[in-house]
Amino acid sequence: MFKSLWIKFLVLLLLVSLIALSSAFMLRELMIKDFRKFQEGEMEDKVYRVMIDIEGSYEKNFRWNNDLIIRDTVLALMQGLEIKIKDTNDTVVIDTEKALNTVTPLMKQKIMAITDFKNADRSENFEPYQLFHKGKEIGTLEVKFLKHKKEDIFIKRTNKFLFVSLLALGGVAILLSIIFSSRLTKPIKKLASAAKQISEGNLKSRVKSTGNDEIGKLSESFNIMAKSLELQESLRRRLISNTAHELRTPLSAMRGELEGIIDGLLPMNKEQIQSLYEETGRLKNILDGIEELTQAQISSLTLKKQLIEIKPFLKNIIERFNKSFLDKGVSIKLESDEKLIINADPDRLSQIVINLLSNALKATKKGGSVLIKTGAQDSETFLEIKDTGCGIKEEHLPYIFERFYRLSDDGLGLGLAIVKELVEAHSWRIEAKSIFDKGSTFTLYITD
**Smallest distance, ligand ADP to C-beta of residue 290, A:** 12
Q: How far apart are CA 235 and CA 231, in angstroms?
A: 6
Residue nearest ligand ADP, CB atom distance: 411
Residue number, 146 or 414, with CB nearest to ligand ADP: 414
- Yes or no: say if 93 and 85 are a contact pair by the CB < 8 Å rule: yes
Least Å distance, CB 350 to ligand ADP, is 16
Residue 191 · residue 222 · CB < 8 Å: yes
**Distance from C-alpha of 313 to C-alpha of 293, rounded to nearest angstrom:** 23
- The alpha helices in 79-213, defined as continuous H runs, are 96-102, 105-114, 149-199
We find the least distance from the C-beta atom of residue 226 to ligand ADP, in angstroms, to be: 29
Task: Note the Cα 22 to chain centre separation in Å.
Answer: 32
CB of 275 to ligand ADP, least distance (A): 22
Instruction: For residue 194, give every residue at least 6 positions away whose Cβ sits within 8 Å of its Cβ, in sequence order, or none.
Output: 205, 206, 207, 222, 226
Q: Find all residues with CB under 8 Å of 270, minimum gap 6, and list them.
A: none
Smallest distance, ligand ADP to C-beta of residue 389, A: 5
Cβ-based nearer residue to ligand ADP, 85 or 430: 430
CA atoms 341, 347, 348, 350: torsion sign: positive
Q: Which is nearer to ligand ADP, 310 or 370 (CB)?
A: 370
CB of 406 to ligand ADP, least distance (A): 3
- Closer to ligand ADP by Cβ: residue 277 or 399: 399
Closest CB to ligand ADP among residues 99, 390: 390
Please report, as ranges, the residues that interact with ligand ADP according to CB under 6 A. 359-360, 363, 387, 389-392, 400, 405-408, 411-417, 440
Residues 6+ apart with CB under 8 A from 334: 311, 314, 315, 318, 371, 372, 373
Which CB atom, from 126 or from 405, has the smaller least distance to ligand ADP? 405
Closest CA to 345 of 210, 255, 431, 446: 446
In this complex, which beta carbon is closest to ligand ADP, that of residue 146 or of residue 400?
400
Taking the complex as a whole, the smallest distance from the CB of residue 424 to ligand ADP amounts, in Å, to: 15
Nearer Cβ to ligand ADP (187/389): 389
Q: How far is the CB of 430 from ligand ADP (least distance, A)?
A: 12
* Complex with ligand ADP: residue 82 or 421, whichever CB lies closer: 421
Report, in Å, the least distance between residue 407 CB and ligand ADP: 3
**CB neighbours of residue 108 within 10 Å:** 15
**E strand map for 226-278:** none
Q: Side chain identity at 204, as an amino acid letter?
A: K
Residue 163 or 399: which CB sits closer to ligand ADP? 399
Minimal distance, residue 405 CB to ligand ADP, in Å: 6
Query: Cα dihedral sign for 279, 281, 284, 289?
Result: negative
Read off the DSSP letter of residue 90: S
285-307 burial, b if ≥16 CB within 10 A, otherwise e? Answer: ebeebbebbeebbebeeeeeeee
